[in-house]
Structure formats: structure tokens, C-alpha cells
Amino acid sequence: MWFENFTEPDMIEVYEYRMAWRYNWGNNTDGTTPYLLSCKIPQNKNWSCASIVSFTENRCDAANNLFKFMQNDQIPYHDSLYENLYMYEYLIPMDVDEFIIPIKTEDRTWEDLIKRTISSVND
């Protein structure tokens, strides 16, 4: 695991991992099942942010993968997204500083915009 402002990675052992897929989401058949891995951060890195992580099966194996670390503040967002994913037919994931603004005169409401967008996709 690489931490911000440090030049060398730390070898950190995973002490727990759990599948992060809810059964009511259906069968995950694409082979990309999400997992939640727990590990103890070294004491000298407690206040540092992990930025990149690689996984190996054995401690001395060469790492051949690299993943950007998901910060804790994103976890509730993703949990909410996956929790509500199948409640609606359409979903627009946006940041708090992003907006969808109708620019056509026939789109006077969000409902108008959505109806027109759906009909143009279905045509």
C-alpha cells in the first residue's frame, strides 16, 4: 500500500475480507464481484491517506496490479447508489457541483426533459 508523501510502499496484511454484493441485487455474472478488505494501518501512517494499493496472494509475490484507493467519504455514496440502483428505471450519478440544466424551450420541467430524452433514445 502506498501512502501520500511516502516514497516506499508498506506491506500490509489483510485480516478480514467480505463480499460486498447483496443477494437482492441478483446474480453477479460478469466476474467482477466487489469485496471489502480490512487491514491495520501502520502506526506511523495513521494520519496519512492511502493512495494506491496492490494485491498479492503471498507476501513475497511480485505485485502485478494497481488500484486507486477509495477514500472513506466515498463509501456511503457508493453504498447508497448500490442500495437504490434497482428502485428506479433511470439513474444519473452526479457530484454535488454538477447540474443538468435544460436549454431547449420545450423542456420547461425536469419531467419534460426526461420524457424527451427517453423518446429520443427509443427512436
For the chain, which residues make up each domain, given as ranges? 2-70
DSSP label at residue 107: -
Round to whole Å and give the CA distance between 93 and 95: 7
26 backbone φψ class: left, alpha, beta (φ>0; ψ -120 to 50): left
Q: What is the DSSP string of 7-74?
A: SS-----EEEEEE---GGG----SS---EEEEEPPPGGGTTSPEEEE---SSTTSPP---EEPPPGGG
pLDDT at 10: 87
* Model confidence, pTM: 0.46
**What value does the CA radius of gyration of the chain take, rounded to a whole number of Å?**
21
Give the residue among 7, 3, 12 at the shortest CA–CA distance from 52.
Answer: 3
Judge contact between 63 and 56, C-beta under 8 A.
yes
Please give the chain's pLDDT, 123 residues, in tens. Answer: 888 888 888 888 888 888 877 777 777 777 777 788 888 888 888 777 778 888 888 888 888 888 887 666 677 777 777 777 788 777 777 777 787 777 888 888 888 888 888 888 777
What pLDDT sits at residue 105?
A: 86
